[in-house]
Structure 1
Amino acid sequence: MQLIKDKEFGGERPLFASHDVHLDNVTILAGESAIKECSNIVATNCRFEGNYPFWHVHGFTIQDCYFAVGGRSALWYSDHLTMKNTVIDAPKMFREMNDIEIENVEMNDADEVFWRCDRIRIRNLRLHGGTYPFMFSSNIRVDGLESDSKYVFQYAKNVEIHHAKITTKDAFWEVENVTIYDSELNGEYLGWHSKNLRLVNCHITGEQPLCYAHDLILENCTFDAACDRAFEYSTLEADICGTITNVKNPMSGHIVADSIGSVTIDENIKAPADCIIEERKK
């Protein structure tokens, strides 16, 4: 593998079609497509300032690096990436990619990141700001996520999440086959129109959670007092610890909680309208 060390590159496509290269302490200055149509690339201790540095790259490692704001849309149409110990201040990262491994990464403008990606493994990721992370992505496993981005995991499929703290709005809409363990989910309108969403040992806050959900499962979950009008038009099996403030018009299934503040069943409930709602027997 060729070593390129302590260098600076700018302009358009300075390392185009490079293969089997280790970049160490390299700075990519203003310009476009610095490392395009490449393979077997290792970047360590590098700084990326120009646009679109990694497009159509096959097999690469990025470790202990920094992407400045100018390095936007840096990773598109590529595969087999491992990224570790990296800070990203640029938006619109990770698009149309597959086979991604992320560990100890911080993204400070998570606008439109991880779109239409497949096979993502994440350990310790922080997302700040921006909208729609993970839109249309699939086959994702996360262990350790902290995010305040809006509208996370819309239209995502086959997702498993552990130890997350997600503060957002309209999260997990239209998702399919998603399981979330041991996490805190804060924000309005959680999980609407989802299919096969399962929450285990999770704490939920925000208004009108989990409506229009199909085959929803909750195991040992807790709800903040602000969670009113929950489960409207949903089919579900829910085991809730503590109190839930209000349940409104669930379609079918079974809801059991230690305490239920109120239940709203009105003329707008949808068939089969046979959900069993009960407080746990003491």
Structure 2
Amino acid sequence: MEKFNQQLFTGERALFKANQLEISHSVFADGESPLKESANLKLDYDIFRWKYPLWYSDHIIADKITFVDTARSGIWYTNDITITNSLIQAPKTFRRSSKITLVDVELPNAEETLWNCKEIRMENITVKGDYFGMNSEDIDIKNLTLSGNYAFDGARDVYVTDARIISKDAFWNCENVTIEDSTIVGEYFGWNSKSVTLINCTIESNQGFCYMKHLKMVDCILINTNLAFEYSTVDIKINSRVDSIKNPLLGLIEADEIKEMIFDDPEIQSENTVINLKKIKEVI
């Protein structure tokens, strides 16, 4: 395997169709698509300064690399890439790519990142930016910190554990999602999604969990959450008070207390939802 060390690469397609290379402590400066159509690369301590560095690439292992903010749209149409201990400052990274592994990676400007991708494994990830993870599938995440709205819109087959998520309209239009041991803060969580399970989570959400099919909660705590579960089918076990619940379609809700239970749609039959709790403060 040929090796490059402490090199400065400039110009468009600087290492076009590179194969079987080790590139260390080097800088990819001005020039688009420096590693387009590359394969079987090992990158470490490299810095990428311009657009489209890894498009149509295969079998990439990268450690301690840096994408600065101008290295936008960096990894598209790429298969089998592992990135560890790295900083990706650029937006729109990862599009229509597969077999992605990220470990100990920071993405502080992750707008429109990880779109239409599949077979994704992430661990110890910090993300800031809107529209993260849209329409991606087969996602496994451990220890995620995410701040940004509209996360995981349209995602499928998602497992998340040990996460801290601040995101309005997160997990809309999803299918087959499980979230465990996590904290979620955000309005309108989960609308129009199917087969979503939350286990041992603490959640704050204004008007969350509406228009959902097969929503399940196990040992969750809902704080400052109102107008929940409207037009949803539910199997809910909450270890806390709920401020208000509105127009659930069908299922079971268990809670310590419901401060307000609202049925104001004449087409909803309240008897289709079984309520088990210690106290109902007010029924409208």
TM-score range (shorter-chain normalised) is over 0.9
The aligned runs of 1:29-48 (5 Å cut-off) are 29-48=29-48
Q: Which residue of 2 aligns with 1:184?
A: 183
Q: Which residue of 1 aligns with 2:146?
A: 147
Q: How many residues align?
A: 279
Q: Which residue of 2 aligns with 1:13?
A: 13
Stretches (4+) displaced over 3 A: 268-273
The residue type equivalent to 1:257 in the other structure is A
Alignment partner of 1:193 is 2:192: yes
SS at match of 1:31: coil
The aligned runs of 1:1-282 (5 Å cut-off) are 1-128=1-128, 130-225=129-224, 227-270=225-268, 274-280=272-278
In the TM superposition, residue 216 of structure 1 has moved relative to its aligned partner by 0.4
SS at match of 1:100: strand
CA distance in 2, matches of 1:21, 1:236: 53
* Structure 1, gaps ≥5 residues long: none
Indicate if the aligned counterparts of 1:30 and 1:70 stay in contact, CA closer than 8 A. Answer: no
The residue type equivalent to 2:247 in the other structure is N
CA distance in 2, matches of 1:5, 1:177: 45
Indicate if the aligned counterparts of 1:116 and 1:135 stay in contact, CA closer than 8 A. Answer: yes
Instruction: Tell me the C-alpha RMSD between the 2 structures.
Output: 1.2
SS at match of 1:40: strand
Q: Name the CA shift for 1:75/1:51 in 2 (closer, same or farther; >3 Å).
A: same
Question: Cα deviation per residue 1:19-76 (whole Å; 9 max; x = unaligned)?
Answer: 0000000100011000011100111000000110100101001110111111111100
The residue type equivalent to 1:58 in the other structure is D
Q: Which residue of 1 aligns with 2:282?
A: none
The residue type equivalent to 1:142 in the other structure is I
* Structure 2, gaps ≥5 residues long: 280-284
In the TM superposition, residue 205 of structure 1 has moved relative to its aligned partner by 0.4
TM-score (norm 1): 0.97
SS at match of 1:155: coil
